Amino acid sequence: MKQRVGIVGYRGYSGAELVGILIRHPGIEPVLLEHREDGGAPSPIRGAVRLPLAACTPEAAREEQLAAVLLATPADVSMELSAAMLSAGIRVVDLSGAFRLRTTERYRQWYKEEHTQPALLAEAAYGLPEFCRERIPAARLVANPGCYPTAANLAIRPLLEAGVIDRAFGVVCDAKSGVSGAGRKPSLKTSFCEVTENFSAYSILKHRHVPEVLLTSGLEEHEFSFTAHLIPIDRGILETIYFRASGIGSAADLVAVYERRYAGEPFVRLYQPGQVPDLHSVARTNFCDIGVTFDARTGRAVVVSAIDNLVKGAAGQAVQNLNLMLGYPETEALL
């Protein structure tokens, strides 16, 4: 018998992607939970999909016998709903930034707001399975990683663990994202005529995702430079990561570091030395593709890491976590 899972925020891009994935999941029946914040925005879910609808309350969630809820909501809504759903005994995967930073101080510093659920912040498991798989199956609350940090951490952490990054130089991460990463709420910045035939940098050196990279990768703040950019496309994140390699003679040595770390991982794909992914390689998949280039004369290396921001960077990874929590194969509905 299928387990029922609620989706909040299905009128947004990540929420609609959750629906698109879960309707193909053999063990899960998705239930749309209508939240007051959704307003009158038309659903981005196309076609003849007819799914059960319910109110977005703990009572309705219990009545619908939900095994879990997925929150594709803003951080303040996520804080409130997580507390309510967990109190009703319903497990939560939260796609917002509400529960990723572990301490209220750090949250205040980067999100410029007070955290209203400090106990849950401390309790939440960080949902990057490739590095934190142990805690997820039993977790009540999983903080689904940010899109930029997913691509960055999967690329950087194995190199730091292996000691092949010259830490005096540190790491530069030049990140580019499609527009769906900015959400579905209309704004001048994401209006078609402002974005098409344009390209822009934003949140330079102060993006909210920076502390998430630091926490998981092991880098110190002074070792890391990060800039986000907007690409005039719908979906996809590509990060170009620069460092000086130590104890490494070739791109193949760096690929070997990744191969050791990611042996058996279903969602990380490595490229031949000197080859790198583009965004078509990962579009509409849950893969993170990683490629390496190295210049032996200067010791400088460049790693390119690519994901689909709505899949491995949001909804796909949330389902990956949900599979771990509910006892399905980790790749169910994702390959």
Query: Which chain residues interact with its own copies by CB under 8 A?
Result: 13, 41-42, 46-48, 168-170, 172, 174, 176, 178-180, 184, 186-188, 190-201, 204-206, 221-222, 224-225, 227, 229, 231-236, 238, 240, 242, 269, 276, 278-285, 287, 293-295, 297-300, 302, 304
The rounded distance, in Å, linking the Cα atoms of 156 and 261 is: 12
Q: Which is nearer to its own copies, 127 or 316 (CB)?
A: 316
Q: How far is the CB of 150 from its own copies (least distance, A)?
A: 17
Q: How far is the CB of 201 from its own copies (least distance, A)?
A: 5
Phi, psi of 179 (to 5 degrees): -75, -25
The rounded distance, in Å, linking the Cα atoms of 238 and 309 is: 9
Comparing C-alpha atoms, which of 1, 59, 13 is closest to residue 234? 13
Q: How far is the CB of 109 from its own copies (least distance, A)?
A: 11
Look at the alpha carbons of 24, 318, 32, 40 in this order and tell me if their dihedral is positive or negative. Answer: negative
Q: Which residues is 244 bridged to in the sheet? A: 300
Q: How far is the CB of 278 from its own copies (least distance, A)?
A: 4
Active-site residue, 147 included: yes
Tallying the residues shown for the chain, one arrives at 335
Q: How far is the CB of 152 from its own copies (least distance, A)?
A: 14
Which H helix or E strand runs over 161?
helix 147-162
Tokens of 69: 């809820």
Q: How far is the CB of 214 from its own copies (least distance, A)?
A: 11
Q: Which is nearer to its own copies, 27 or 44 (CB)?
A: 44
Three-state DSSP at 93 gives strand
Q: Which is nearer to its own copies, 74 or 170 (CB)?
A: 170
Looking at residue 232, what DSSP letter applies? S
Q: Which is nearer to its own copies, 49 or 138 (CB)?
A: 49
Comparing C-alpha atoms, which of 228, 170, 240 is closest to residue 199? 228
Phi, psi of 110 (to 5 degrees): -100, -30
Tokens of 241: 């990561």
Other CB atoms within a 10 A radius of the CB of residue 312 amount to 27
Q: How far is the CB of 212 from its own copies (least distance, A)?
A: 17
Looking at residue 222, what DSSP letter applies? G
The rounded distance, in Å, linking the Cα atoms of 80 and 150 is: 25
The rounded distance, in Å, linking the Cα atoms of 214 and 61 is: 36
The rounded distance, in Å, linking the Cα atoms of 27 and 37 is: 29
Q: Which is nearer to its own copies, 208 or 269 (CB)?
A: 269
**Catalytic-labelled residue, pool 56, 132, 147, 193:** 147
**Residue where the block lists tokens 């990874």:** 317
Q: Which is nearer to its own copies, 13 or 99 (CB)?
A: 13
Q: Which is nearer to its own copies, 128 or 283 (CB)?
A: 283
> Which residues does the annotation mark as catalytic?
147
